[in-house]
Structure 1
């Protein structure tokens, strides 16, 4: 099966790409995948029939056009859309995403998955991997984290492993937040075991991918 994977930023792409071989096997053996990395999550257009502004490289802004395009493209086995939930109501958000898909004719086989609250929750879900990458991490800070909670997830991770914590990153401003998130994914994922992750949202992502390729087989 060939899978097109839509991710809202480069750190998320790095995280998922590093773990794909553990989840469904090496690239091309037998499954293949390609990433489409966007510049943020954006907003679902109010008018789903309106032509998307190509200058807006946010995932939700482009999603109606992209899903419709994949529905008309031969060779695409499935589309996987991975988004941070942030502080949205999960049920409502998923219904909004499914409504976009329902307007496609034909509609591509699509899996929507949400990271609760942010994809850094998946890194925090593997404490052993995190400590292998950052052995000096502040364990008292990590112990305050309630898995998959709405708590300022990336800020908590920063407070545990980044000199000066999230305050230093915020003070420096863009592009540092994106750079450090990419570095965290790059350093932590090589130590991760996808079979043992405390994040329920990661488990749903992993299992959803595996169900996709098994159903295809």
Structure 2
């Protein structure tokens, strides 16, 4: 079996490349396909689903919510999948990938050698998926953070079970269910 991840951006690719080996058994292969933003991903989805003919492949589409309505965004992605015979899992990162980092501040602290775990006690960071602009918030505490290199750094320390982001856990459980 192989999973094909269709992603909104490059940083999500590097993050998933780092965490998927922690989720998937060794006999399940995967590839991560980044796009140049939301509109590029959405334009690509129906094309890739129709054109991909490899047997035993299942698809996972991951897109940031940003400021949009989560349910509406998911409905639109389902619509883009059309009447495909491919098995597709759609997951939305609420609000951005960086919210998943706030779900495991211990991993972020290890990645940067700077203890920011105390942020988890602050009201505005207790529920990672409720942080409106997690990318901006992360930059406040880690000005050296860069999207791609940061995704690689943080992914190696992420604890799948410790992460408190509900949208991250929805991805993990969805992927596990997809391969079972």
1:182 and 2:161 matched = no
- Structure label with greater radius of gyration: 1
Aligned counterpart in structure 2 of residue 41 of structure 1, from 32, 38, 43: 38
Give the TM-score of the pair, scaled to structure 2: 0.90
Aligned counterpart in structure 2 of residue 149 of structure 1, from 106, 121, 130: 130
* Structure 1: gaps (5+ residues): 43-57, 164-178
Shift of 1:102: 2.7
> What's the CA shift string for 1:19-55, capped at 9, x where partnerless?
0111113xxx21111121111112xxxxxxxxxxxxx
* Structure 2: gaps (5+ residues): none
Partner in structure 1 of residue 61 of structure 2: 81
Query: Cα–Cα, structure 1 residues 5 and 131, in superposed 2: closer, same or farther, change >3 Å?
Result: same
Q: Secondary structure of the equivalent of 2:106?
A: helix
> How many residues end up aligned between the 2 structures?
177
Query: Cα–Cα, structure 1 residues 18 and 80, in superposed 2: closer, same or farther, change >3 Å?
Result: same
Tell me the C-alpha RMSD between the 2 structures: 1.9
Query: Cα–Cα, structure 1 residues 138 and 128, in superposed 2: closer, same or farther, change >3 Å?
Result: closer
Partner in structure 2 of residue 200 of structure 1: 166
Q: Distance in 2 between matches of 1:153 and 1:63?
A: 26
Q: Distance in 2 between matches of 1:36 and 1:82?
A: 10
Q: Secondary structure of the equivalent of 2:27?
A: coil
Partner in structure 2 of residue 64 of structure 1: 46
1:210 and 2:158 matched = no
Partner in structure 2 of residue 175 of structure 1: none
Q: Secondary structure of the equivalent of 2:130?
A: coil
1:24 and 2:28 matched = no
Query: Cα–Cα, structure 1 residues 150 and 129, in superposed 2: closer, same or farther, change >3 Å?
Result: closer
Partner in structure 1 of residue 5 of structure 2: 5
